[in-house]
Amino acid sequence: MKQKFIILLILTGLFVTACSPEPTQPANPTAETSDMVNPASQFCVARGYQSEIRDEDDGQVGYCLFPDGSECEEWAFFRGECTPASETEESDVPPETSVTPTEAADEGDQSAVKVSFKDALEDLEPQDVFHNFYDITQVPRPSGQMEQIQAFLLSFGQDLGLETIMDEAGNVIIRKPASPGMENRKGVILQAHMDMVPAKDRDLDFDFATDPIEAFVSGDYLVTEGTTLGADDGIGMAMIMAVMQSKTLVSGPIEGLFTVNEETDMSGAFGLKQDALQGSILINLDSEWDGVFLIGAAGGGHISVSANYQQVPAPTELAAYQIEVQGLKGGHSGVDIHLGRGHAIKLLVRLLKGAIEPYELLLASLNGGNASNAIPREAAAVVLLPKEQVESFTEYLQSFENTVKSELSVVEPDLSIELVEIEPPTEMIDQDLQLVLLDALYATPQGVMRMSDALPGLVETSNNLGVVAIQDGQIQVDCTPRSSVDSALEDVSQMVASVWELAGYEVELANYYPGWNPNPESPILELMNATYQEMYGKAPEVMAVHAGLECGMIGGKYPGMDMISIGPTLSDVHSPSERLLIPTVGHVMDLLLAVLENIPEG
């Protein structure tokens, strides 16, 4: 087996190198005040229940009150650890409008009129950040195609008269000198990644390599129609640009580090030289929850199977159909992996495997997913079958659709499976090979493998089958494994590899990166915590996340680097449902500027 298993064990004894579909919460998180987004409270209310905040010995705690008289601590309900006492009690929210935690939004926002981002710019604050982000949306930057955004950033820094360089890995670094009298302050690195996940609706005519992102303001959210927004991590880039532009900020030296290809192979962080950065504090702006400070993240990697196969002639007397699984939510393969959302590829493979023998089904192609680190929303297969089997197969498909819609009714209310007659293909997959491929796909581990023992609610280990493309004699399968424990990451990777080796294929394990080991005694955490409490009158949440952040890789190259990750609230990243909660941008930006002005001397 061909294995490039580049697991970097530079961070040993991971205390909780975070990985979780939402950041891991303390046992009883401090209830958030009305001006802040509290996902647990929103989740409770969006389900039709009542949220109640109570004063307890450990501080304020939120409870979700159910119609049957039972109740549940809100974060426990958010994580699925408790339900109403009456299993038959129905929520006031009908199933077709049920909402998952990351989708709990104000009803007014969901029905708000959409205004183009460009037309709404003058009404958005902070003006500099949103103008920067608009400019970023006009520059194509899918992972692996960084040339245009690199040129944009180089021009931006040079136009400001700041030292601006691009390193051998393609990262752009912009240096802003200290304000007069602040030269002795510690240097700060503000970091974000340039690339975005290019996910779109299957039927949308859109090219991420050439087309700008068309965004809209809808209530308090910035959204798109049919594509990812790219606020992951374009909004982080925009905030760094605003810091570089500021003529009023009084601070020590600041570096803006814009890395390439974080969403695929982390080649920017991998290729960063050990002498490239001058600062000793790194503030990563790739977090997705306002009021949450991340101090740990998961390690991960990439698993791929690439092969060719010999197509065979397709019988000419058969009927041909395209089967499409669609309407799923998808999402981030780290932060959404625990939500139990439908997986389009897995559902389609399950359907096909049950139809091969009884309906004499033949497989011509199978495709699903946009990126290895995104939960597949759509998948399609082209099949052939005897014309006399069409009616019974159609009944089977309808029965299967009803079954999986029942199984996923709460989390996937828009799931549908379509059957469309098409022109018969001239070639197909050999019958023996199609069985091998369907078995391998069916057996590939998917979702949460293990929860953390150290932190309740934290996903320790997971795998995501993100891309399958079997068509025209070529096979491509891509997975993203994650874990906060290096040995568990290797274990789940070998699990996936073993399945495909048994099927007769070589497996490549590559681009592995370490987790980020939390440091609860971090000086930048202490400063940011104190600043947040002074500004907003309450404590932030300090957490770890089941997602890959470049902090682990950068920390390995710069031992002793003091790191933290913050950012405004994003939902459903890595999917066309991605949206940015507009008011949280100013909230985070104000905090960032205040912290930068109070960095201590070195």
Whole-number Å distance between alpha carbons of 228 and 232? 9
Q: Is the dihedral of CA 271, 468, 377, 320 positive or negative?
A: positive
- Looking up tokens 């089941």 gives 546
Question: Distance between CA atoms of 242 and 75, rounded to whole angstroms?
Answer: 35
Phi then psi for residue 447, to 5 deg, are 95, -155
Which residues are paired to 365 by β-bridges?
382
Q: Which residues pair with 191 in a beta bridge?
A: 257, 284
Name the nearest CA neighbour of 428 among 309, 313, 319: 313
Residue 63, classified by CB atoms within 10 Å of its CB into exposed (0-12), middle (13-18) or buried (19+), is buried
Contact between 173 and 164 (Cβ < 8 Å): yes
Angle at the Cα of 543 from the Cα atoms of 539 and 547, rounded to 5 degrees: 145
Distances (CA, A) of 375 to 47, 67, 297, 403, 560: 24, 34, 19, 21, 35
Using CA atoms, how far residue 354 sits from 344, 362, 390, 434, 439, in Å, is: 16, 12, 15, 13, 11
Structure tokens at 237: 């880039």
Measure the CA–CA gap between 405 and 307, rounded to whole angstroms: 34
Whether residue 335 contacts residue 297, with contact meaning beta carbons closer than 8 Å, is answered with: no
The active-site residue out of 195, 255, 290, 550 is: 195
Cβ atoms of 445 and 333 closer than 8 Å? no
Question: What is residue 28's three-state secondary structure?
Answer: coil
Is residue 225 annotated as part of the catalytic site, yes or no?
A: no
* H-helix segments, 246-309: 267-271
Establish whether 262 is a catalytic residue: yes
Collect all residues with Cβ–Cβ distance below 8 Å to 239 and sequence separation of at least 6: 129, 132, 190, 192, 285, 585, 588, 589, 592
CA 466 to CA 377: how far, in whole Å? 10
**Catalytic site residue from 32, 220, 232, 262:** 262
Residue type at position 494: Q
Instruction: State residue 476 phi and psi, 5-degree precision.
Output: -140, 125
Active site residues: 195, 262
